[in-house]
Structure 1
Amino acid sequence: MMANRLVGLRSQLGRCFSTSNSLFQGTTTPKSPLPTASESTSTLVTPPIPVFGIDGRYASALFSAASKQNKLDQIDADFQKLGRLLTKNKNIADLFRNPGVTREQRMGLLNELDLSDMTRATLETLFDNRREKRLTKFVSVMNRLMSANRGELLCRVITAKPLDDKLRNELDSVLKQFSKKGEKLNVETTVDPSIMGGMIVEIGDRYIDMSIASKIKAYTEILTSNV
């Protein structure tokens, strides 16, 4: 069953990589997430991969500022920590995104994470601009950007149960076909029983949902729309 999913993944990834649609898109220009005014008026350092939308603008600005101040390693460590926290602790993620949580409470949570001043200032601006619901996506975009800066292709895979060694090797083999020459594959796997089966794959800026849960939802919507 899972082997069939991998065949399907290979086909779907091929179609995804032949299009230019991005997972993250938007049109609203956010207030600069940088702590200094001079940074916003200077020439930005081009990020290693294009990132789009509101999240991409924040990520590009932060990457540029950190690059100029030789703090990319700090920022990288910060967002890896944030990514792990938001993935493993959904209660914390909900607290950050909840509009009912006060600014002081959010900043208190940030202070407990021991993040660098630049990261904390960026997230503070994100919250001040009422973008708290975009936190998870912003962290994901930033981690993808930093992974590319390390010469890696970041892939996230969600399955209903853990993969055995054979399936994991097959999955890595499929994903590796879509990495560029010299690009190292960085695969993060997560188990989520609620998807019921199949898998969800995020590779670069592409998102592919082959879960049973999503298929049931789609079929249910088709059936109810015809009633």
Structure 2
Amino acid sequence: MRGLSRTARAEVEERFNAVAASADLGTLAEEVFAVVDLFDREHGLRRNLSDPARPAEQKAEAVRALLTGKVGATALEVTVAAARARWSRAGDLPDTLERVGVMAAAAEAESAGRIDDVEDELFRFGRILAANPALRRALSDPAVPSERKRDLLVALLGGKVAPSTLRLVTQLVAHPRGRSLETALEEYGLIVAQIRERLVGVVRSAVPLGEQQKQRLAAWLRATYGREVHLNVEVDPKALGGFSVKIGDDYIDATIAGRIEEVRRRLAG
């Protein structure tokens, strides 16, 4: 995201943070996602509202005329802030509003004490999709109506995950916005983690880690990075022993398989 849009995103998020405390966060997330869907469908509207040459107040009035009575006051205020901002490219406006929708759902989960659950559940659902090609096809098929996909998700996840998790998964399944479901789940998971200003570490271990092992690893990573690190743990028998951790672009390989590969590379060199 380029200069103008980076500044605009910060302004919109600041406005969200200022008004979200008094809102029903679940409803706010749903309404902001609905606005994103509208802007994705109406290309002309999106271009006009993101045009930096148009007066900010003119764009704000257009949003008020379009959305007043259709979304709540908080969603309207956030959308007006997005319309008033100056964007480098038209697509950055709905992208930022989608991010705000995820932030609202994450804040909903945090207020309910379930933000850790949401992080874990988004990660696990991504792994379920990776292991079930038929399910991934059914949820990704553009020919399958969104309502049928929602019904399938309710049958699969209803009552088994946090409400915020179901809300987020339903949104990205119904409106993937050109991304694979796995990529969208990862993006949403990172935004949820950022609400807590935490890094996300993907741990691969040959055997399940005990709670004390996870706590020690998390403490070591926290000391290393100077921030909280949320651990998503995968069991991978190919690791043979030990574990690996991926945090962003960093990769720490303490597996036996990794050590064997390192010896092979040295011998080959």
- 1:144–1:154: 8 Å Cα contact kept in structure 2? yes
CA distance in 2, matches of 1:83, 1:58: 24
Q: How far apart in 1 are the matches of 2:97 and 2:232?
A: 26
Contact 1:34–1:121 (8 Å) recurs in 2: no
Residue 149 of structure 1 deviates from its aligned partner by 0.5
Please report the TM-score for the alignment, with normalisation by the length of structure 2: 0.46
The amino acid across from 1:176 in the alignment is R
Q: For residues 174 and 73 of structure 1, what CA distance do their matches in structure 2 show?
A: 27
Displacement of 1:160 = 0.6
> TM-score, normalised on structure 1?
0.52
Q: Which residue of 36, 39, 43 corresponds with 2:38?
A: 36
> Quick one: which of 215, 227, 244 aligns to 1:200?
244
Deviation at 1:159, TM superposition (A): 0.6
- The equivalences for 1:140-219 within 5 A come to 140-164=186-210, 167-180=213-226, 183-203=227-247, 205-208=248-251, 210=253, 211-214=255-258
Give the gaps of 5 or more residues in structure 2: 1-34, 40-44, 51-78, 83-91, 110-114, 155-165
**More RCO (CA 8 Å, sep 6+):** 1
Q: CA deviation at 1:192?
A: 1.6
Letter aligned with residue 122 of structure 2: L
Q: Secondary structure at the match of 1:156?
A: strand
Output one character per residue of 1:2-23: Cα deviation in whole Å (capped at 9) or x when no partner: xxxxxxxxxxxxxxxxxxxxxx
Q: State yes or no: 1:81 paired with 2:121.
A: yes
SS of 1:177's equivalent in the other structure is: helix
Q: What whole-Å deviation, never above 9, does each CA across 1:90-110 have from its counterpart, x for those lacking one?
A: 433x346559x7334595445
**Equivalent runs, 1:35-114 vs 2, <5 Å:** 35-37=37-39, 41=50, 60-67=96-103, 70-73=104-107, 80-88=120-128, 90-92=130-132, 94-95=133-134, 98=137, 102-105=141-144, 107=146, 108-114=148-154
Question: Offset at 1:140?
Answer: 1.8
Supply the distance in 1 between the matched residues of 2:173 and 2:257 (Cα, whole angstroms): 33
State the distance in 1 between where 2:220 and 2:141 align.
45
* Contact 1:59 1:142 (8 Å CA) reproduced: no
Aligned length: 171
Q: Distance in 1 between matches of 2:95 and 2:204?
A: 24
Whichever structure has more helix as a proportion of its residues is 2
For residue 202 of structure 1, report the CA deviation from its aligned partner.
Answer: 2.4
Task: Give the unaligned 5+ runs of structure 1.
Answer: 1-32, 45-55
Q: Tell me the distance in 1 between the aligned counterparts of 2:188 and 2:228.
A: 18
RMSD: 4.4
Identity among equivalent pairs (%): 15
Q: Is the 8 A contact 1:197 1:213 kept in 2?
A: yes
Measure, in 1, the Cα distance between the counterparts of 2:199 and 2:230. Answer: 6
